[in-house]
Amino acid sequence: MVLRVGRRVRVFGDLERASAALARELAHDAAAAVRAHGRFRWVISGGRTPLPLYAMLADAHRSGFPWAETEVFFADERCVPPDDPQSNFGAAWGTFLSRVPIPRRRIHRMLGELRPRSEAADRYARLLGPLPHPGGDAPLFDAVLLGIGPDGHTASLFPGHSAVRERKRAVVATAPGSLPPPVPRLTLTLPALSSARKVVFLVAGSDKVSAISQILRSGAKGNPRWPASLVRPAGTTEWFLDRAAAAGVPAAGRTSR
């Protein structure tokens, strides 16, 4: 049984420190997952924010992390080929996946280059298998790493898009959001992102202050205006923030480092 153990907000002096703490926590979680069920099933995210974390995993945690038992999935992908500079897979591959001893067959990229895009989404959904019962004892993922945009999007779930309302499919194709890059996307949906023992949001920068305040204040059900507030795992949700991003978070609700 995965218990809902709530939310923790941690604030660090800068993104480097937040990333270093998160890298240590991931190494710990991965080892625990491997002890418990032989595998660490981990969803990673695109965007710029996780790049220092990825580099640290490849450098400081190249040994000591159970790479051989780690399985990597993607929260979303831009619909471009994997060698395009906009590709989330390309960025993750360049910063860490190509540099750690993880079996290639356990790196599951979304096929951003495949057309029709709906077929790429369906293939990824088949790879994941059926969506488990929410709150059940076998979620799809051990950990999901996410970022947010200033508009409150997460993965490629943009405010007002039908992908935010999807409840049956685990993966969908979606139109570009209002923020760059203006390319169509493939994205895990809310029920897939929420099927996790732990969800971690890593967020940095003052342009995210307003979105973070809205998301953290959006109540038990969340608010569709801020899609990140609708990710509701049965397990823990953790926020790793740098000081700039945390400017609107009341001191009472955070743990500072």
Q: Report strand pairing: 7-12 vs 255-256.
A: parallel
Find the part of the chain contacting ligand 6PG (CB under 6 A) among 29-37, 45-53, 96-104, 188-196.
Answer: 45-53
Find the part of the chain contacting ligand 6PG (CB under 6 A) among 6-14, 70-78, 110-118, 126-134.
Answer: 70-78
Nearest partner of 11 among 171, 216, 185, judged by Cα = 216
Sign for the pseudo-dihedral over CA of 39, 202, 225, 151: negative
Separation of alpha carbons 151 and 159, rounded Å: 7
Closer Cβ to ligand 6PG, 69 or 166, answer by number: 166
Using CB under 6 A, pick the residue from 87, 95, 154, 195 that binds ligand 6PG: 154
Residue nearest to ligand 6PG (CB): 47
Joined tokens for residue 116: 């029709």
Sign for the pseudo-dihedral over CA of 131, 135, 139, 144: positive
75 belongs to the binding site for ligand 6PG (CB under 6 A): yes
What separation, in Å, do the N-terminal and C-terminal C-alpha atoms of the chain show? 31
49 belongs to the binding site for ligand 6PG (CB under 6 A): yes
Q: How many CA atoms lie within 13 A of 46 on its CB side?
A: 28
Using CB under 6 A, pick the residue from 19, 70, 87, 88 that binds ligand 6PG: 88
User: Least CB distance from residue 75 to ligand 6PG, whole Å?
Assistant: 6
Joined tokens for residue 196: 């996790």
147 belongs to the binding site for ligand 6PG (CB under 6 A): yes
Find the part of the chain contacting ligand 6PG (CB under 6 A) among 24-32, 41-49, 56-64, 124-132.
Answer: 41-49
Q: What percent of the residues of the chain are helix, what percent strand, and what percent coil, each to the nearest 5?
A: 35, 20, 45
2 belongs to the binding site for ligand 6PG (CB under 6 A): no
Q: Are the CB atoms for 110 and 120 separated by under 8 Å?
A: yes
User: Least CB distance from residue 63 to ligand 6PG, whole Å?
Assistant: 27
Find the part of the chain contacting ligand 6PG (CB under 6 A) among 15-23, 72-80, 95-103, 107-115.
Answer: 72-80
Size of the site for ligand 6PG (CB under 6 A): 15
Separation of alpha carbons 73 and 197, rounded Å: 15
155 belongs to the binding site for ligand 6PG (CB under 6 A): yes
User: Least CB distance from residue 152 to ligand 6PG, whole Å?
Assistant: 10
Separation of alpha carbons 33 and 10, rounded Å: 22
47 belongs to the binding site for ligand 6PG (CB under 6 A): yes
Interface with ligand 6PG (CB under 6 A): 45-49, 75-76, 78, 88, 147-149, 153-155
